[in-house]
Structure 1
Amino acid sequence: MSDFEIATYNERAQTGPCFVCEMLAGTPGYEHRIVFDDGDHLAFLDKHPTLYGKLLVVPRSHIEDPIGGFTQDSYLALQRVVHQVATALARVVETERMYVLSLGSNQGNRHVHWHIAPLPPGVPYEEQQLYALDWSTRGRLELTDHEADQLAARLRAELDRPALTAGESA
């Protein structure tokens, strides 16, 4: 899917295999730039972002229910990764507000995934929130391979840094 079209994307999401499981299996066409992997969870750059730096965080296990599919401990472990990745992203990309949400549906993109989307400073209020994530209004942000590789490298480097303690600043 080199030329992004919403209808093609939606059809693939609804009728194709799980994109996360295919990525984990190494299936050609499902590659993503991974920035974090702890053996149980992954974080990777969104292939179709509307905002610079947008990431997805997923469990490696194919889980479809974003609440009931987890024990309390496994849910909290995933949320710790979401927090860790979002914190690193905020250090790498200038951000007014960090959006964190789980999207997907029983009809498509069923593998649980959290979107981490950094809203840049200066975006007018009318263009924030869900509008900022909407392909049909914002379009898809096009990054060159070099730009995406550079961003992924910066994020990996930030995630490799020792964690800051509460109250400490970067």
Structure 2
Amino acid sequence: MDMNLAAYEERARNGPCFVCAFLRGDPDYRHETVYEDDAHIAFLDRWPTLPGRVLVAPKAHVEHVVRELDEAAYTRLMLVVRRVALAVESALLPERTYLLSLGSQQANAHLHWHIAALPPGVPLERQQFHALMAENGVLAPTPEETATLTTRLRAALG
């Protein structure tokens, strides 16, 4: 699946909230769910720059990682992020696991955490921010690879 970066940016800026659309079942915003509880959802990134990149979000439309969550809600969310990150590490055995909260009021405003597993052996100049930027390319896993990874992650999550 080829990513059109300009079309992605346009949709992120002017389309519906991608997390809310996904949760409503909008087929244009379909993702593979790997974990769900009453307040959180974790799903495979549609445009992964690293294998097994997973997004974790509260189901409620929250936009600010710190000021819109009380301490208990923030702690619950971070425990889900940790649980999913441990499953990603178990399934993929990365050299490093990156955790980032991205988005802004201009695009992808719904609070979400990226869990990105850096495979062993990636040259230093292709790690860190370089490995996370869609401008440097996205992966195109096959449906079979996606299904296998989803199964492995769900199993690791119990």
Question: The TM-score by the shorter chain falls in which range?
Answer: over 0.9
Q: How many angstroms does 1:78 deviate by?
A: 0.1
Give a deviation string over 1:137-167, Cα, whole Å, max 9, x none.
2x1101011110110011001101xxxxxxx
Q: Which residue matches 1:97? A: 96
Bigger CA radius of gyration: 1
* TM-score normalised by length of structure 1: 0.91
Match of 1:148, SS state, is helix
Matches within 5 A, 1:1-20: 3-20=2-19
The Cα RMSD (Å) is 0.8
Structure 1: how far apart are the matches of 2:93 and 2:86? 12
Residue 158 (1) aligns with residue 156 (2): yes
Amino acid at match of 1:131: H
Q: Which residue matches 2:144? A: 146
Amino acid at match of 1:129: Q
Structure 1: how far apart are the matches of 2:97 and 2:2? 28
Amino acid at match of 1:11: E
Q: Which residue matches 1:62? A: 61
Q: How many angstroms does 1:91 deviate by?
A: 0.4
Structure 2: how far apart are the matches of 1:125 and 1:3? 26
Q: How many angstroms does 1:94 deviate by?
A: 2.1
Give a deviation string over 1:97-151, Cα, whole Å, max 9, x none.
00000000100100000000000111111111100111212x1101011110110
Q: Which runs of 4+ in 1 moved over 3 A?
A: none
Gaps of 5+ in 1: 161-170
Give the share of equivalent positions with the same residue, in percent: 49
Structure 1: how far apart are the matches of 2:96 and 2:2? 30
Match of 2:88, SS state, is helix
* TM-score normalised by length of structure 2: 0.98
Q: How many angstroms does 1:74 deviate by?
A: 0.2
Structure 2: how far apart are the matches of 1:148 and 1:69? 33
Q: How many angstroms does 1:3 deviate by?
A: 3.6
Does the CA-based 8 Å contact 2:2-2:140 persist in structure 1? Answer: no
Q: Which residue matches 1:114? A: 113
Match of 2:3, SS state, is coil
